[in-house]
Chain A
Amino acid sequence: MTRATANRITEDLLRPLLQTTWKFYAGVTVLGIMVLIGLSTWAYQMYNGLGVTGDNWPVFWGFHETNFVFWIGISHAGTLISAILRMVNATWRRPVTRCAEAITAFALMIGALFPLIHLGRPWYAWWLFPIPWPLFDSRGLWPNYRSPLTWDFFAINTYLTSSLLFLFLPMIPDFAVIRDRTVGLRRKIYGLLALGWEGTPKQWHRLESAMHIMAIAIIPVAVSVHTIVSFDFSMAMVPMWHSTIFGPYFVAGAIFSGIAALLIAMAILRKVLHIEQYLQPIHFQNLGKLLFTMSLLWGYFVFNERLTTWYGNAPHEIPALTATQSGEYAPLFWTMVFCNFILPFPFLAIRKLRTITGTVIASCGVVVGMWLERYLIIVPSLAHKQLEYSWGTYSPRWPEITIFAGSIAAMVLLYTLFSKFVPIISIWELKVGEHKEIKAAEAVQAAEAAGELV
């Protein structure tokens, strides 16, 4: 790699950090206002009680829980994909990994808020921490380790901690690059973040082994997190919830919606930050193939789940099944099938359509479809539990919708700020990639020159 190429990469990827346009300020203001509206609505809900939502007897969970599963699902984009791509040493991953890991971190932070938002008395949420008596907790009680919600709490915290580490590790050399190119306060802050990075062989070695360990360790963590989220449902004897398929079904769905979110984010990033030459059609091609695999897998799971329930014909299960297949929720169900399977199929299966536009259209469908999937898992089942006398219905009210809109704004805002303060593509990893390619080309040339290759 020539010095010129290296400089170009650094210049291109640092430009969004060093140059700020009015569009950035305008965008941040609008998003910030939306987030504030969402937070105020949450405050309004806390002040008045959960009565302002559409939750009722017997549908005690609705929009908030759907959003919880949705965001935790989106968070599976990053870390898992990036860890797998790193493990199998897929060279095309280099410009993609950080965009993906950042989605994980922020989607997880937002997702982890929803269990708080949905609580009747969120100010007591700290009871989930096992605090040794009599330090803080005068109740002298541990959390109940038999409750899937407690498992959730620990799983999500583990995943959040490890995802943040996994995101941070490969940023260290890049922080050093920024430190060396800036002055004043910026230099100080990035200097702190770079943790004294000098680029010595020892430091490189340690970074590489730390990243390798994290990549291996984080895969089981990611799989376990969404399995445990599925346990929130499958551990309860609610029709269509109490199913052995839920663990893998949820993990597959999470990765599915995660890749879709990643594709949308990449398409926006390359346009907004003018990094078209780094996020190329090949990346969309490859991720599109992965999305296609997940779409087929998702369809397979849904087919399995629905067919066995229908064929089993258990009296308690059938009303919930019928309500989604052909009853009250059928329009949503078939929209979901269209968005997750029928719409993406041509765009992802046919090579000519698997362009940037094609994969983004498919991804938008998938994100909507996967949100509907979670809604359709939660609401129709709770509305059709065992006792026919207590069947009910559910429709969201404005606070739930506003908080959801606020959470989307929060995701975009966090992502915008992240891409403002951190190079969204790993500078050093890209350079390593270029370097390896040139080394390989040089080796071939040398071999040809020596007459070893004919």
Chain B
Amino acid sequence: MTHRWGMAVDLDRCTGCSACVTACHAENNIPTVGPAEAATGRAMHWLRIERYVEGEFPDVQVKFRPVLCQQCDQAPCEPVCPTYASHHTDEGLNAQVYNRCFGTRYCANACFYNVRFFNFYNPVWDKPLHLQLNPDVSVREAGVMEKCTFCVQRINAGKIDAKAEQRELKDGELKPACVQTCTANALVFGDLNDPESAVSRLSRSARGSKLLEDMGAQPKITYLQKEVWHDSSNG
């Protein structure tokens, strides 16, 4: 049976520590653009933590929402690419083939989650970050679009290992860098085609919802809403 990779994000567990963001940068050779460029909106965080502050002091509630590529089944980014750089894999991933991309940036406009990033310049890493590049992930040149891949290099390596050992992949065996790093276990990754996998069970939770679900892109990331954890004065 083919896999269908998905993720569940428990907003009740997320502390907003941003370790996942750092892990993602390190794993996927994502360039750091520096403070000046970041200020003009060119930071490339495949995974970002959105912060929402609700209420008035002292009754303040902060919500964190990690937003990454939602790996939509009906992805708006895919049909608009004239060169098939952005396309759908058999395992339901929204793949981005860097070598096919010539940088129309149409996919980024079509994506309403704004989780696609453009290499405005050739990548640079502040020293000593240049010494820790991941050899399993290609480095992208200027003019190319990039985005979260669910750490496809880890998925492929895991499948090869399992095949060599002549066994099925175990649930929880594959972990994208963000999932591996999350100290609070807020992120759960797995196969949605396996009804008993942790991610499938969490995706069926009553707390679950999809981001911008009404847009109809059928994302494969389920957000588990925060339980009400305190009494506010207005009940």
A51-B121, A385-B114 given as contacts; is B109 within 8 A of A238 (CB)? Answer: yes
Q: Does B82 contact A (CB under 8 A)?
A: yes
Whether A120 pairs with B42 at a CB distance below 8 angstroms is no
Residue from A58, A122, A389 in contact with B102 in the complex, judged by beta carbons closer than 8 Å: A122
Judged by DSSP, the binding face of A is loop
Whether A51 pairs with B142 at a CB distance below 8 angstroms is yes
Whether B80 pairs with A147 at a CB distance below 8 angstroms is yes
Whether B212 pairs with A386 at a CB distance below 8 angstroms is yes
> 8 Å CB contacts to B: which residues of A28-63?
48-51, 55-61
Q: Does B105 contact A (CB under 8 A)?
A: yes
Q: Does B138 contact A (CB under 8 A)?
A: no
Judged by DSSP, the binding face of B is loop
Whether A58 pairs with B41 at a CB distance below 8 angstroms is yes
Q: Chain B residues near A124: list those with CB within 8 A.
A: 83, 102
Whether A149 pairs with B82 at a CB distance below 8 angstroms is yes
A51-B42, A147-B79 given as contacts; is B121 within 8 A of A141 (CB)? Answer: no
Interface residues on A, range: 35 or more
Q: Chain B residues near A125: list those with CB within 8 A.
A: 102
Q: Does B95 contact A (CB under 8 A)?
A: no
A-B pair count, CB < 8 Å, reads 138
> 8 Å CB contacts to B: which residues of A144-165?
144, 146-150, 153
Residue from A153, A236, A389 in contact with B80 in the complex, judged by beta carbons closer than 8 Å: A236
Q: Does A27 contact B (CB under 8 A)?
A: no
A128 to B67, CA, bound (A): 33
Q: Does A204 contact B (CB under 8 A)?
A: no
Q: Chain B residues near A232: list those with CB within 8 A.
A: 106
A235 to B166, CA, bound (A): 46
> 8 Å CB contacts to A: which residues of B87-145?
100-106, 108-110, 112-114, 117-122, 141-145
Whether B112 pairs with A237 at a CB distance below 8 angstroms is yes
Q: Chain B residues near A50: list those with CB within 8 A.
A: 103, 118, 120, 142-143
Q: Chain B, 167-211, contact with A by CB distance < 8 Å: what is the 0/1 string?
A: 000000000000000000000000000000000000000000001
Residue from B82, B109, B121 in contact with A144 in the complex, judged by beta carbons closer than 8 Å: B82
> What are 20 A-B residue pairs whose CB atoms fall within 8 Å in the complex?
A49-B120, A51-B121, A55-B105, A57-B42, A57-B114, A120-B103, A120-B118, A120-B119, A124-B83, A141-B84, A144-B81, A144-B82, A149-B104, A153-B82, A236-B109, A237-B76, A382-B109, A389-B50, A390-B113, A392-B41
Residues in B lying within 8 Å of A, measured CB to CB: 37, 40-43, 50, 52, 67, 76, 79-84, 100-106, 108-110, 112-114, 117-122, 141-145, 211-212, 215
